[in-house]
A = this chain, B = another copy of it.
Amino acid sequence: MAMISPSRRLRRTPFSDGNEAAGVKGYTVYNHMLLPTVFRSIEEDYRHLKHAVQVWDVACERQVELRGPDAGRLMQMLTPRDLRGMLPGQCAYVPLVDETGGMLNDPVALKLAEDRWWISIADSDLLLWVKGIVYGYRLDVLVDEPDIAPLAVQGPKAEDLVARIFGDGVRKVRFFRFGWFEFEGTWMVVARSGYSKQGGFEIYVDGFDNGMPLWNALMEAGRDLDVHAGCPNLIERIESGLLSYGNDMTRENTPHECGLGRFCDTQTAIGCVGRDALLRVSMEGPVRQIRALELDATSVPPCDRIWDVTDARGMRVGRVTSAALSPDFNCGVAIGMVRMTHWDPGTHLLVQGPDGPIDAHVRETFWN
């Protein structure tokens, strides 16, 4: 693969200097911002993530801030998840859909107050959709991208490390809850969340200039925990069944196709702009859906485009959009969309990779 050409348009983050000092080897671009993809090697990063602790520059999870009397109403317009029971201090994974029920983003929403929300977005300019809705409906709400840059601390030793910086109070923060904690005079949101299944926190670093001091403090405090710069890991996130917007789902897909039906309350999510479109699919279910696939392979090429999935006779029954070789599972692991005729666990399929067909079968999940 080729080099990435630097330009201001591919925004650097408050932590870019830290990534470079740690020897970042690969980048992707996410919300017009640099996102590291590999430090030592994807496999080495993967093993390290599972036994130690990593600090991840996920500043590219940009925030869309909603502020004002209509903030709550607006938030409910965006998602078929019923948010009425949500309290300040809670996070919620929310499928966001357009008027046809197509996925626009799959962020984590943070309720800061009754009239103030952050939407921590995946890779699409959600701000533009929200601004369009606000303008069209003349809602009483300010929408903007604040100077907030998430920094994730992930891995089995994450809690110990974060407690050394923010105090033992963070240990009491439950999964998908957040609290406000101080770092050098600035109060920041610290949530128990993150794009791995190894446990950890996301710190919503307030102010670009606070980025490197916090980065350095974490690196210093975690030396005996074998802390290292890391990043969302391709292998681990596929094993963990964590979807990637733009890879595993796009505007073409409903939340139900993405296996996100459990985050939809289409009957009661009054005001959601995609509600009408989703009522039927929410009752009858989709005809294709995201599945974990096990690949009978000893090497897996980079999945840089859609790979067709066929049955033994060559009929197209789905597609794969993320794949990697898993050292721990000793097989290829993949995420794809499969037709209901072929989606039962155990079904034998062929994944049409660039080097020829790969034997595969549907799994319930990888992670248990």
In the assembly, how many copies of this chain are there?
Answer: 2
Within 8 A of B (CB), among A107-129: 123-126, 128-129
A7 at the interface (CB under 8 A from B): yes
Q: Could you tell me if B9 and A123 are in contact, using CB atoms closer than 8 angstroms?
A: yes
Contacting residues, chain B, for A302 (C-beta < 8 A): 5-7
Q: Could you tell me if B131 and A8 are in contact, using CB atoms closer than 8 angstroms?
A: no
Q: Could you tell me if B132 and A136 are in contact, using CB atoms closer than 8 angstroms?
A: yes
Interface bin, chain A? 35 or more
A98 at the interface (CB under 8 A from B): yes
A29 at the interface (CB under 8 A from B): yes
Q: Could you tell me if B4 and A4 are in contact, using CB atoms closer than 8 angstroms?
A: yes
Nearest-Cβ distance from residue A45 to partner chain B, whole angstroms: 12
Q: What 4 A-B pairs come out closest when comparing CB atoms?
A: A136-B136, A132-B132, A9-B246, A6-B304
Within 8 A of B (CB), among A58-106: 98-99, 104
Instruction: Spell out A's residues near B (CB within 8 Å).
Output: 1-10, 12, 24-29, 32, 37-38, 98-99, 104, 123-126, 128-137, 244-247, 273, 302-306, 321-322
Q: Could you tell me if B305 and A244 are in contact, using CB atoms closer than 8 angstroms?
A: no
Q: Could you tell me if A28 and B8 are in contact, using CB atoms closer than 8 angstroms?
A: no
Contacting residues, chain B, for A126 (C-beta < 8 A): 128
Q: Could you tell me if A27 and B4 are in contact, using CB atoms closer than 8 angstroms?
A: yes
Nearest-Cβ distance from residue A26 to partner chain B, whole angstroms: 4
Nearest-Cβ distance from residue A140 to partner chain B, whole angstroms: 14
A247 to B8, CA, bound (A): 5
Which residue in chain B gives the minimum CB-CB distance to A302? B6
Interchain Cβ contacts under 8 Å between A and B, 25 examples: A1-B3, A2-B4, A4-B26, A5-B28, A7-B28, A7-B304, A8-B246, A8-B303, A8-B321, A9-B247, A10-B304, A12-B304, A29-B29, A99-B131, A125-B128, A126-B128, A128-B128, A128-B132, A130-B132, A131-B132, A132-B133, A133-B135, A133-B136, A135-B273, A136-B137
Contacting residues, chain B, for A10 (C-beta < 8 A): 28-29, 304
A322 to B9, CA, bound (A): 10
Q: Could you tell me if B7 and A4 are in contact, using CB atoms closer than 8 angstroms?
A: no
Contacting residues, chain B, for A321 (C-beta < 8 A): 8
Q: Could you tell me if B124 and A128 are in contact, using CB atoms closer than 8 angstroms?
A: yes
Which residue in chain B gives the minimum CB-CB distance to A20? B2
A26 to B10, CA, bound (A): 14
Nearest-Cβ distance from residue A171 to partner chain B, whole angstroms: 34
Nearest-Cβ distance from residue A32 to partner chain B, whole angstroms: 6
Nearest-Cβ distance from residue A78 to partner chain B, whole angstroms: 11
A5 to B24, CA, bound (A): 12
Nearest-Cβ distance from residue A264 to partner chain B, whole angstroms: 19
A98 to B129, CA, bound (A): 12
Which residue in chain B gives the minimum CB-CB distance to A9? B246
